[in-house]
Amino acid sequence: MNPILILFILCLLVVLSEILVERTILKSLGTALLVIVLTAIVANLGIIPAGSSEEHPVPVYDGIFTYLAPMSIFWLLLRVNLKDILKAGLPMIALFLIGAAGTTVGVILGMKLINGREILGDLYSAVGGMYTATYTGGSVNFNAVALHYDVIRDGVMYGGAVAVDNIITTLWMAATLVLPKFLVRIWKVQVREDLPGKGEFVDNGDQESMGPIDLGITLGMGFGALVLSDYVQDLLSVPSVITLTLIALIIAQIPWASKLRGPQALGLFSVYLFLAVIGAFCNLEAFGKLGSLGFSLLALTAVTVLVHALFTIIGGRLLRLDPDMVAITSQANIGGATSALALARSLGRSDLTLTAVLLGSLGTAIGTFLGFWVVGWLS
């Protein structure tokens, strides 16, 4: 399919979602959730490709994941005040580790419930490690475990694990968008309305206008930061998102950066395109072709995420964190840095964008190690 046509449709879905949220009763859903749902429907109807694989790559999807998603982190962090994270940082880190422990327990419990050794065969422990890794850090950790244990050579098992992971990740992104509305009704801890950026999905900074100079500087800084972060990763093995975050934070503390018009609008639109691709990866046809294996993997991941959610919600209540913080921390576990940042922005929590990215980075750092540990435990 023509890449430009795919990009046109994705942009159209973002615009349509914004219009529906602004002018219809769908306002309560929010643009982020609506983008995911609409794109998933369009993809599963066959209008655009449902996901991207080595056999059938979709350059637009891969490009958004590889380039646009990290640059959205950079652009949105250009408005971050470092003082904003001091109040939430340590408790959310503690909750993140509790959530990671929940993921680990969930995988081990899920394997027992589906009789993983018999259903999944010799690769069952490796598959458990892959899901532990990805629901702690992300796809990088998932693939690191898969490559180490040669799961990638078993096309059916690896492909099935990826398909189910994509479906669960999409569903959990949607769940965390509505989770705060549910929790706030049963918790005495209330979301503070005076926090910077707290509002209905977006703040006024996202409705900014820009000229050619602002646009050129914003794009140039994003491209330059991405190139530099990739170079540092190759040279020092430091995850690129860490370098990207540091560059953004340094620039954000310079007074002229706050006057630059464009980063917030570009960052938010990039996040919406990223969420659209997440929706496109919810490939129900691929899941249907897996048969009983697909349902076994789905049961495993469902148990994993539900146990993780239980740990996270109880931990958040004990730590007296507000529901937004709980949802964002959980998303940092299950979806990674970009998904957590997207959730923070969609919930109107500009004050938590940096914390969301840092939690995602922490997950990337420890996810593979935790995955290897689970492989050893299951073996």
Q: Where are the domains of the chain?
A: 60-378
56-61: long-range contacts at Cβ-Cβ below 8 A with a sequence spacing of 24 or more?
Answer: 58/1, 58/3, 58/6, 59/3, 60/3, 60/6, 60/7, 60/10, 61/6, 61/277, 61/280, 61/281
Displacement of CA 164 from its chain's centroid (Å):
16
Give mean pLDDT, residues 297-317: 93
Choose among 170, 197, 173, 360: nearest CA to 268: 197
Question: In the prediction, which pLDDT does 29 show?
Answer: 66
What CA–CA distances, in Å, run from 60 to 18, 63, 65, 91, 359? 22, 5, 9, 38, 27
pLDDT digits (tens, 9 = 90+) for 57-88: 889 998 988 888 888 878 877 876 555 545 55
Contact between 340 and 69 under an 8 Å Cβ cutoff? The reply is no
> What are the pLDDT digits (tens) for 243-285?
887 888 788 878 777 778 878 788 888 878 988 888 888 777 7
List all residues 6 or more positions away from 265 whose beta carbon is below 8 Å from its beta carbon: 206, 207, 208, 210
What's the average model confidence in pLDDT over 362-366?
A: 80
Q: Is 23 exposed, middle or buried (0-12, 13-18, 19+ CB in 10 A)?
A: exposed
| pLDDT, tens digit, 9 for 90 and up, residues 193-205 | 444 444 433 444 4
What's the predicted TM-score (pTM) here?
Answer: 0.72
Average of per-residue pLDDT values in the chain: 82
306: pLDDT strictly greater than 80? yes
22-26, 78-82, 227-231, 293-297 — which one is most confidently predicted on average?
227-231
- The residue assigned the tokens 């509790």 is 98
Lowest mean pLDDT among 134-138, 284-288, 295-299, 316-320: 284-288
Greater confidence (305 vs 188) lies with 305
The answer for residues whose C-beta is within 8 angstroms of residue 150's C-beta and 6 or more apart is: none
- Across 6-32, average pLDDT: 85
